[in-house]
Structure 1
């Protein structure tokens, strides 16, 4: 060698503790092998200054998962390890940033690096139910106390919500119940209402279909014995187009005996001594009111026989079936009738009459006979 130094530049990637083997020399004088251990001066690490999460709040439904990403500052922090914890592991569990929603509720996830922490509030809601509730089929009817809304039980329903509207107004809730009927006691006679019912279970509600009905209050019936039978009367019902009269005897069933637009009806087929119960239903088209019955024992009018004998007037009549007794009335001229006797006999002698009109009444029936002396 003539002392000339040959240099060939080389770039070698190294880390602390890298061992490099060098082979130096030439073909004439031979080669010498050298081993070099590289020592790189290490960079000084810093304490953790902060840790942040990519989300501070999160909403999940049960069964769903999500992953939180943590960022630590500075980049040369002496600890890159993150510890994850949940404030309520029964609601949310966490593992290496992956969170799993277990049940409805809230929990706070905490990420810790060094002495620094970051949190994310998790809200878990129940998974939307796949529950489907059948739409209740509503049946409407007029009752004594109001309009009755009824329906059949809906499977899986926890209760029912009743709505009402009148005219073109919108539906308004009027009741919430677990029963299968509801009576709207605020319904007014003569007004058409539309009702609907929705079944519910938690936040799940069924669909609904409305049905309408004209509210008709039931007529208050008065019954009395009349000359030709039993008179049934009632007051006008708002919204009614007419009235149906029913009758039953004893413990029998009601049978329709008349349909009228009048406010009274005389039952001329009633038999003396028989107890009858009458009721009247108002109607408008196919809609009918409810009804309440009134009972009366029919007593026919006694046929009075009058015999004039001097200053006395003798009255007699035949026994009336069902009668407990008889009341005798008398009036003078255009005056009013006054009771002059009450008897269980079938005859009576008026010893004070001169020129009178005599009236016989038993129970609630009056029989009149004019006398001319």
Structure 2
């Protein structure tokens, strides 16, 4: 079918506002979209007629000496289809506060999103917030007399004119019930992680007799079942038995991990979870798996924070307990972790670029959300 300019007509002129916390992945996303647009235009225009352009809208994030801040947008946003990118977990962003270097926390990153919305001032045609790690998602429901941070934050974005929110692997997707009148897309990095895993572990035999997918707790079971179904593997579960009589660092400490599933002996294992915080759950489960004579242990996670450093991960790698950790580049990862032998960063910029491109051109994103066919095709391409 012949393509014409109508096929390339966007909902509105694309504009990407990448906050300081998302500069690196924001630039990569922009490059992918520029390349995509150049390719599409080359099908209907001569090369000399194609304009090279960037969709990044420059902004200035200003901080005063007392910690107050403001955002200044350096280019027009009138009538544009705006995508605001922010990594609320990026602790590398700093500013000077009363002469001290202060690191931005999630609250300050979220405040910067609201500053951008305020600076836009209703002039954009549509506003979408791309927040890979959903702000305050771990405080998604009320137990007793406590705050409901995530729900309040989502409602704030709605009141400030946001029409769509894109996020990844939400702790509890039902949080979208707080904003039923605007679009909320909970995306998953499954295809990109599995693609990278298969590419890197070329000699790994992925079949039921040699490999198993493990869920580290009951909350991650749906995720583990999905991985196991697309990879054609069995699934196992560890149940976290907690001491509910005490609270340590806001959580009930884990007393023991109980395993439910088939024999692990002699099998390779893929542990899948939404995030690695301190990593204690991964360590406990890896030791339990080794005690049950597992062969190689791999970890796949959407977000890796390493809140208590990487010394223990390094130790487990050197002792042959953990083979490799796969995680995305949707949250800040220091160079020392990126360079570690046991860590592999999964690039999500092309996937996010495809989502933004489709939305900007009023195309369905459903084909991008179902990783099943893509993964099965990948597996068929490998001699497994």
- Rg comparison, structure with higher value: 1
Write 1 or 2 for the structure with the bigger share of strand: 1
- The structure whose RCO (Cα within 8 Å, separation 6+) is larger is 2
**TM-score under structure 2 normalisation?**
0.21
**TM-score under structure 1 normalisation?**
0.21
